[in-house]
Amino acid sequence: MKLSHFQFDLPKELLAEYPAENRDEARLMVIDRKKGTIEHKMFKDVIDYFDEGDVLILNNTKVFPARLYGNKEKTGARIEVFLLRELNAEQRLWDVLVDPARKIRIGNKLYFGDDDSLVAEVIDNTTSRGRTLRFLYDGSYEEFRNKLTELGETPIPKYISRDVTPEDAERYQTIYAKEEGSVAAPTAGLHFSKHLMKKLEIKGIKFAEVTLHVGLGTFNPVEVEDLSKHKMDSEELKITQEACDIVNNAKVHKKRICTVGTTSMRAVESSVSSHNTLNPFDGWTNKFVFPPHEFTIPTCMITNFHTPKSTLLMMVSAFCGHDLMKKAYAEAIEKEYKFYSYGDAMMII
């Protein structure tokens, strides 16, 4: 498959600026791969597709407020700093993106907060927009992290043209988020409400939690026509023995196993044993799932609607079947489903 197979015209007004009023009342498109049918539901109707012993695989990563605004020394120019990952806790070194990058050179200092209580020094260039920063802060590591949280902003996607609101801090986070480390939310999970989770639990559906910390690499554009030549950035992944036991037991009993989101799918497909079971994992993955791909763990997938030419769309195509996916996306556009992070959901069974 080629990059051009994943191009389609997406009307700008279908990119969701705000989430649905209630998490579980987003729209849901249900695609049956065997029958080739498409149904239109509400997200809370997912419960009707699961029975006792079925498993939902959830990514329990937590988004941290990764976007900071500082001022450059001397000129006072406003600079956006996007925290990607901590490189060294003791030295307070971080891998970041800066914007506008042309103004930021090694040796520059950036000041944050009204009182300039946090300072960062640029110590390396990593990519055209990437820098390594050393943060300078008088206080313990815990106080330093609290200061980052205080000054940071919820990193809602750039295509959302409005300002960040206090509501975003809650809504751009799944209700089961536990392990801090993502710079973007695993958005399919945003549709689960506490009420819906409780109803699923009462029905006997099991939850297997994995942790994949989403980096911006997930959203890097594919710039090669031959998909096999695209390289994904590595992201940190942890799969416990407990999660493996839940999933593998369901597999033995031929229960429905559903990955919630492309990140959960990438997590489990990164750690499959030679016996086609799920293995524990603690490390980094750069797994890129695109057609053709033989899926070994999930029999079902919940995801949002993705943008043209994205690696996320390619994964959906691999799971759904390309022609059926194209038909579903054409119908989603016709029926004005909302796309991307705060958009509506799709379930492929």
Instruction: Look up the CATH number of the domain holding residue 325.
Output: 3.40.1780.10
Do 200 and 276 lie in one domain? The reply is: yes
What is the distance between the alpha carbons of residues 216 and 253, in angstroms, rounded to a whole number? 37
The predicted pLDDT at position 117 comes to 83
Could you tell me if residue 84 is inside a domain?
yes
Do 120 and 220 lie in one domain? The reply is: no
Last residue of a domain, one of 151, 186, 205: 151
Last residue of a domain, one of 95, 122, 151: 151
Residues 6+ apart with CB under 8 A from 81: 67, 68, 69, 70, 96, 97, 98, 110, 120, 133
Residue 347 has pLDDT above 90, yes or no: yes
Do 219 and 88 lie in one domain? The reply is: no
Residue 111's DSSP bridge partners are 71, 119
Residue 139 has pLDDT above 80, yes or no: yes
Could you tell me if residue 194 is inside a domain?
yes
What is the distance between the alpha carbons of residues 120 and 181, in angstroms, rounded to a whole number? 20
pTM of the predicted protein model: 0.91
Could you tell me if residue 185 is inside a domain?
yes
- Judge residue 281's burial from the number of C-beta atoms within 10 Å of its C-beta, 0-12 exposed, 13-18 middle, 19 or more buried: buried
pLDDT tens for 298-328 read 999 999 999 999 999 999 999 999 999 999 9
Could you tell me if residue 161 is inside a domain?
no
For the chain, the domain total comes to 2
Read off the pLDDT of each residue in 1-11 and give the average, rounded to a whole number.
93
Could you tell me if residue 103 is inside a domain?
yes
Domain that holds residue 95: 65-151
Do 258 and 322 lie in one domain? The reply is: yes
Radius of gyration of the chain (CA): 21
Could you tell me if residue 158 is inside a domain?
no
- Give the pLDDT band of residue 168 (cuts 50, 70, 90): very high
Instruction: Look up the CATH number of the domain holding residue 98.
Output: 2.40.10.240
Do 189 and 245 lie in one domain? The reply is: yes
Do 249 and 323 lie in one domain? The reply is: yes
pLDDT tens for 74-128 read 888 899 999 988 999 899 999 999 988 888 889 999 999 888 889 999 999 887 7
Do 230 and 283 lie in one domain? The reply is: yes
Do 5 and 56 lie in one domain? The reply is: yes
Do 218 and 82 lie in one domain? The reply is: no
Do 203 and 239 lie in one domain? The reply is: yes
Could you tell me if residue 69 is inside a domain?
yes
Residue 217 has pLDDT above 80, yes or no: no
Last residue of a domain, one of 117, 151, 185: 151
Q: CA geometry: angle at 244 spanning 241 and 245, to 5°?
A: 90
The predicted pLDDT at position 327 comes to 97
Could you tell me if residue 159 is inside a domain?
no
Q: Which of 24-38, 165-179, 210-224, 333-347 has the lowest mean pLDDT?
A: 210-224
Do 270 and 213 lie in one domain? The reply is: yes
Do 126 and 242 lie in one domain? The reply is: no
What is the distance between the alpha carbons of residues 346 and 101, in angstroms, rounded to a whole number? 37
